């Protein structure tokens, strides 16, 4: 039995999310069905992150155990031949038997993209949040400065979530300026882990600052409150990308 690490990207617009569900098309379900055809038997794929409906990925990682002896390059070509165009396998490499896409991960990098212009390009609208009113990006950056470090992010967690701890460490928050209808403002957040809807709620809160409804200093008070009701709205799924999953040791395949 071989353990494989599969890196893939997808446009999540038309999927119910990563995780296989009773109804609707999921990325996990598509990948499991494609791998089962190669294995000749049902397989179970484990993803590094359960992206929600409409969320995209540039570097989702999945792990799977197979007996099939095909090379990684052959598997990549075979999978891309049957997967829909909205899902592409970037790489397939063999890993140590104990490798697990989720439990072996040391951190993740997410991006949120905002088009801040009177209208949005038809080639971008599926992958960004369109905000026509002017945003004070400097104020948003000031508000975001309190995010780095180890904090309790309960105020930015989706309602109904059940986790053992809401404490996470954010290593970096990086901004890429946008401009016009087809060049999004990008907020990139790198951390050791993320709560459900955490990046989208942080973004929704920053936008409240950006449009002038809240002062940048409120961000610190929201975090200290640990109350989801104090934070801003959950930003739309369309603007969120899982960019990269980080592992302690990257093996050559």
User: What HEC string does 70-103 produce?
Assistant: CCHHHHHHHHHHHCCCCEEEEEEEEECCCCCCCC
Dist. CA 202–CA 155, nearest whole Å: 9
Nearest in space to 35 (alpha carbons), one of 62, 53, 9: 62
Nearest in space to 88 (alpha carbons), one of 56, 114, 64: 56
136 is catalytic: no
Nearest in space to 65 (alpha carbons), one of 26, 86, 95, 103: 95
Active-site residue among 11, 52, 152, 182? Answer: 52
Q: Hey, which residues are catalytic here? A: 52
């Amino acid at each position: 039995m071989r353990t494989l690490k599969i890196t893939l990207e997808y446009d999540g617009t038309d999927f119910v999310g990563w995780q296989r569900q009773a109804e609707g098309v999921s990325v996990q379900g598509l990948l499991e069905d494609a791998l089962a055809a190669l294995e000749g038997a049902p397989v179970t794929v484990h993803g590094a992150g359960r992206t929600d409906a409409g969320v995209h990925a540039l570097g989702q990682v999945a792990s799977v155990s197979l007996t099939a002896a095909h090379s990684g390059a052959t598997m990549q070509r075979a999978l891309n031949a049957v997967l829909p165009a909205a899902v592409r396998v970037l790489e397939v490499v063999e890993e140590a038997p104990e490798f697990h896409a989720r439990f072996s991960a040391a951190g993740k990098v997410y991006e949120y993209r905002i088009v801040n212009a009177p209208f949005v390009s038809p080639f971008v609208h599926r992958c960004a949040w369109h905000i026509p009113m002017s945003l004070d990006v400097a104020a948003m950056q000031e508000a975001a400065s309190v995010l780095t470090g180890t904090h309790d992010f309960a105020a930015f967690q989706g309602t109904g979530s059940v986790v053992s701890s809401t404490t996470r460490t954010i290593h970096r928050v990086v901004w890429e300026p946008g401009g016009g209808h087809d060049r999004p403002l990008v907020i990139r957040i790198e951390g050791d882990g993320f709560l459900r809807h955490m990046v989208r709620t942080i973004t929704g809160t920053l936008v409240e600052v950006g449009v002038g409804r809240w002062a940048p200093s409120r961000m610190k008070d929201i975090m200290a409150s640990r109350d989801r009701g104090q934070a801003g709205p959950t930003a739309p799924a369309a603007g969120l990308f899982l960019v990269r999953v980080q592992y302690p040791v990257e093996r050559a395949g």
